[in-house]
Structure 1
Amino acid sequence: MGFQEELRSRNFSLYAQWLGVLSIILGLALGVANIFHFNLLILWSIILLCCALVLVFVEIPLLLRICPTSSKFDALIRKITTNYMRAGMYAAMGVFQILSVIYAASSLIAAGVVMLLTAACYAIAGFKNQDFVASKALGGQGVAQMIV
């Protein structure tokens, strides 16, 4: 199944996975861009960078096999397999980034909004009882089944 077929599949877990990749890209880019504020926004930037690194392992399961990580970290990532667990994780991360507006309005809000959209897609997939389907471009079914 190619990228166009994945978009036409109407499986919200696929949409959420691609939004998750966008969350990773935004997290890394905006985390680095905002870390140079020499005020309290550094806290949100560092946490966004950490979240983006965790999301890399959640959304691209092949990296758990390739990168040397601890067994505790692997066990934690393997617990986040259902659509509801992923929705909760993304919602918590998104709300935390949106809360950066308490201190100052910054581009960190964009990462929070994309994370909340990802959470919504995973929640819709859960409500529709759609199984989690990994994109073939990001590791595919065979790799995801081998890791879990």
Structure 2
Amino acid sequence: MTFTEELKSRNFSLYAQWLGVLSIIIGFALGIANIFHFNLLILWSIILLACSVILVFVEIPLLLRICPTSAKFDALVRTITTNYMRAGMYGVMGVFQILSVAYAASSLIAAGVVLLAAGSCYLIAALKHQDFVSSKTLGGQGVAQMIV
């Protein structure tokens, strides 16, 4: 399945996975950009960077086989396999970034919005009883097994 076929599939878990990749990129960029404020926003920036690292391994399963990680971390990432679990994870991460507004308005809100959008897509996929499907482009559905 090519990228355009994935977009035409009407499977919201694929849409959520691509929004997750977008949130990884935005998370790294905004986390680094806001870490230089030298005030309380540094806390949200560090948490956003940590969330982005976790999301890299959650959304790109091929990296679990390539990168040396601990067994505990691998077990944690492998527990987040259903659409409901991913929706919850993205929801918590997104709400936490939106809460940065309580201190000061910053670009971290954009990361929260994208995280919530990805979580919403996973929730829609779960409510529509769509199976979780991992994108072939990102190392899902057989690509990771071919390496071993």
- Structure 1, unaligned stretches of length 5 or more? none
| Paired AA for residue 140 in structure 1 | G
Separation (CA, whole Å) in 1 of partners of 2:68 and 2:136: 23
C-alpha distance after superposition, 1:76-125 (max 9, x if no partner): 00000000000000000000000000000000000000000000000000
Which amino acid in the other structure matches residue 80 of structure 2?
Answer: I
Note if contact 1:101-1:109 (Cα within 8 Å) is conserved in structure 2: yes
Give the gaps of 5 or more residues in structure 2.
none
Change (3 A) 1:144 1:17: farther
Structure 1 residue 38, shift from structure 2 partner: 0.8
Q: Partner of 2:76: helix, strand, or coil?
A: helix
What amino acid is aligned across from residue 13 of structure 1 in structure 2?
Answer: S
Q: Which residue of 2 aligns with 1:6?
A: 6
Offset of residue 144 of structure 1? 5.9
| Structure 2 Cα separation of the partners of residues 96 and 140 of structure 1 | 28
From the superposition, tell whether residues 62 and 140 of structure 1 become closer, same or farther in structure 2 (CA, over 3 Å).
Answer: same
Residue 128 of structure 1 is matched in structure 2 by 128
Corresponding residue of 1:55:
55
| 1-structure distance, mates of 2:78, 2:134 | 14
Residue in 2 aligned with 1:16?
Answer: 16
Q: Tell me which moved more, 128-137 or 53-62.
A: 128-137
Identify the residue that residue 29 of structure 2 maps to in structure 1.
Answer: 29
Which runs of structure 2 are paired with 1:65-76 in the superposition (5 Å)? 65-76=65-76
- CA shift for structure 1 position 136: 1.0
Q: TM-score, normalised by structure 2?
A: 0.96
Is the 2:62–2:144 contact (alpha carbons within 8 Å) kept by the matching residues of 1? Answer: yes
- Counterpart of 1:88? 88
* Shift in CA distance, 79/143, structure 1 to aligned 2, threshold 3 Å: farther
TM-score normalised to the size of structure 1?
0.96
**1:89-128 to 2 correspondence within 5 Å?**
89-128=89-128
> Does residue 143 of structure 2 align to residue 139 of structure 1?
no
CA–CA distance in structure 2, aligned partners of residues 108 and 145 of structure 1: 36
Kindly provide the amino acid, as one letter, of the partner of residue 141 in structure 2.
Answer: Q
Instruction: Please give the root-mean-square deviation of Cα atoms over the aligned residues, in Å.
Output: 1.1
Distance in 1 (CA, whole Å) between partners of 2:132 and 2:145 is 11
Q: Relative to 1, partners in 2 of residues 1:79 and 1:96: Cα closer, same or farther, differing over 3 Å?
A: same
Distance 1:145 1:130, change over 3 A: farther
